[in-house]
Structure 1
Amino acid sequence: MQSGRTYLLAGGGTGGHLYPGIAVAHALRSAEPEARVIFLTTNRDLDADLVSREGFEQIPQPVRPFAGNPLRWPTFWNAWRASVRQAARAIHKSAAAAVLGLGGYAAGPPVVAAKYAGVRRAILNPDAVPGRANRFLARRVQAVFLQWEASRRHFTPAVECRTVGCPIRAAFRNADRQRGLSRFGLDAAKRTLLVTGASQGARTINEALQRVWPRFARARADWQLLHLTGHRDEAATRSAYERAGAADSATVVGFTHEMADALAAADIVISRAGASTLAELT
Structure 2
Amino acid sequence: MKNKTFYLVGGGTSGHVNPALSIAEVMQEKYPESRIVFFVTETGVEYEMIKNAGFPCIVIEASRLPSSVNDFFSFLKASRSGYKSCIDAIKKDRPVAIIGTGGFVCAPLLLAAMRLKVPYLIHEQNAFPGKANRFFAKKVKAVCISFESSREHFNTEAPIHLTGNPVRKIFFDKNPVNARQELEVSSDKFLVLMMGGSLGATSINQAVLDLFKKGIWQSLKKEYPELMFVMSTGERNYDSLRNKLASFETEDFLIKSYLDSTTWLPASDLFIGRAGASSCFEAAATATPAIFIPFQYAADNHQFFNAKSFADQRAAIMIEDKDINAQVLADQIVYLIENRRLMYEMSKKAKSLSMPDAALHIVEILDQVIDLKQE
TM range (shorter): 0.7 to 0.9
CA offset digits 1:97-136 (Å, max 9, x no partner): 2111111111111111111222111111121111212122
What residue in structure 2 maps to residue 254 of structure 1?
257
Give the distance between the partners of 1:255 and 1:83, measured in 2 at CA: 34
**Structure with bigger gyration radius:** 2
What residue in structure 2 maps to residue 233 of structure 1?
237
Per the alignment, do residues 34 and 197 of structure 1 end up closer, same or farther by CA in structure 2, a change over 3 Å counting?
farther
Which ranges in structure 2 are unaligned for 5 or more consecutive residues? 285-375
The answer to whether the aligner puts 1:224 opposite 2:228 as a matched pair is yes
Runs of 4+ in 1 over 6 A off after TM superposition: none
Alignment of 1:156-195 (within 5 A): 156-177=155-176, 180-181=179-180, 185=183, 187-189=185-187, 190-195=189-194
Alignment of 1:35-184 (within 5 A): 35-44=34-43, 46-177=45-176, 180-181=179-180
Give the helix-richer structure, 1 or 2.
Answer: 2
CA contact (8 A) 1:14 1:46 kept: yes
What residue in structure 1 maps to residue 280 of structure 2?
278
Per the alignment, do residues 169 and 248 of structure 1 end up closer, same or farther by CA in structure 2, a change over 3 Å counting?
same
Give the distance between the partners of 2:168 and 2:53, measured in 1 at CA: 11
Provide the identity percentage. 27
Displacement of 1:213 after TM fit? 4.8
Per the alignment, do residues 157 and 6 of structure 1 end up closer, same or farther by CA in structure 2, a change over 3 Å counting?
closer
The alignment's TM-score, normalised by the length of structure 1, stands at 0.87
Supply the AA of the counterpart residue of 1:97: V
Aligned residues: 278
Per the alignment, do residues 9 and 233 of structure 1 end up closer, same or farther by CA in structure 2, a change over 3 Å counting?
same
Displacement of 1:224 after TM fit? 2.6
Displacement of 1:47 after TM fit? 2.2
CA contact (8 A) 1:103 1:125 kept: yes
CA contact (8 A) 1:16 1:199 kept: no
Displacement of 1:268 after TM fit? 0.3
Give the distance between the partners of 2:200 and 2:266, measured in 1 at CA: 19
* Secondary structure class of the residue paired with 2:90: helix
Displacement of 1:96 after TM fit? 1.6
Give the distance between the partners of 1:171 and 1:44, measured in 2 at CA: 29
